[in-house]
Amino acid sequence: MPNTHSLKKKVVIIGGGITGLAAAWHLQSYSEEALEITLIEAAPFLGGKMHTRTLQKDGASFIIDAGPESFVTRKPEAWQLAQELGLDGQIVNPGSETRNMYVLDEGTVKKIPLSPPAFVTSDLLSLRGKARMILEPFIPAKRDDEDESLAGFVTRRLGREALDKMLGPVLAGIYNTSP
Ligand SMILES: Cc1cc2nc3c(=O)[nH]c(=O)nc-3n(C[C@H](O)[C@H](O)[C@H](O)COP(=O)(O)OP(=O)(O)OC[C@H]3O[C@@H](n4cnc5c(N)ncnc54)[C@H](O)[C@@H]3O)c2cc1C
Write down the H helix ranges in 62-149: 76-84, 116-121, 127-134
Please check whether residue 55 lies inside any domain of the structure. Answer: yes
Please check whether residue 113 lies inside any domain of the structure. Answer: yes
Please check whether residue 111 lies inside any domain of the structure. Answer: yes
Around ligand 1, the residues with Cβ closer than 6 Å are 14-20, 40-43, 48-50, 67-71, 174-176
Domain span holding position 61? 8-68
* Rounded percentage of the chain residues whose pLDDT exceeds 70: 96
Please check whether residue 138 lies inside any domain of the structure. Answer: yes
* Residue with CA nearest ligand 1 atom 21: 49
Residues 110 and 165 in one domain: yes
Residues 114 and 60 in one domain: no
* Number of structural domains in the chain: 2
Per residue in 83-94, pLDDT tens? 999 999 999 887
β-pairing, 35-40 with 9-14? parallel
Q: At which of 50, 68, 86 does a domain end?
A: 68
Region at 177 (left for phi over 0; alpha for psi -120 to 50; beta for the rest) = beta
Residues 53 and 106 in one domain: no
Q: At which of 47, 68, 89 does a domain end?
A: 68
- Tell which one of 39, 73, 174 to mutate to probe ligand 1, the residue whose CB is within 8 A of the most ligand atoms: 174
Type of residue found at 31: S
* Residue with CA nearest ligand 1 atom 27: 17
Residue 53 to residue 20: CA distance in whole angstroms: 21
| CATH number where 131 lies | 1.10.3110.10
SS3 50: coil
Residue 91 to residue 81: CA distance in whole angstroms: 12
* Residue with CA nearest ligand 1 atom 5: 68
Atom of ligand 1 nearest to the CA of 50: 21
Per residue in 26-81, pLDDT tens? 999 999 999 999 999 999 999 999 998 899 999 999 988 888 888 888 889 999 99
Is the pLDDT at 1 greater than 70, yes or no?
A: no
SS3 42: coil
What's this model's pTM, rounded to 2 decimal places?
Answer: 0.72
Query: Which pLDDT does position 21 carry in this prediction?
Result: 97
Residue 98 to residue 178: CA distance in whole angstroms: 24
Under 8 Å between Cβ of 113 and 124: yes
Please check whether residue 76 lies inside any domain of the structure. Answer: no
Residues 63 and 106 in one domain: no
pLDDT tier, 16 (very low <50, low <70, confident <90, very high otherwise): very high
Using CA atoms in the order 23, 24, 27, 29, what is the torsion angle rounded to 10 degrees?
-110
Residues 51 and 107 in one domain: no
Please check whether residue 85 lies inside any domain of the structure. Answer: no
E strand segments, the chain: 9-14, 35-40, 52-57, 60-65, 102-105, 108-111
Q: At which of 68, 85, 115 does a domain end?
A: 68
If you measure from the C-alpha of residue 121 to the centroid of ligand 1, how many angstroms do you get, rounded to a whole number? 36
Contacts of 24 (CB under 8 A, 6+ apart): 13, 37, 39
Residues 104 and 167 in one domain: yes
- Tell which one of 21, 49, 171, 175 to mutate to probe ligand 1, the residue whose CB is within 8 A of the most ligand atoms: 49
pLDDT tier, 5 (very low <50, low <70, confident <90, very high otherwise): low
If you measure from the C-alpha of residue 71 to the centroid of ligand 1, how many angstroms do you get, rounded to a whole number? 14
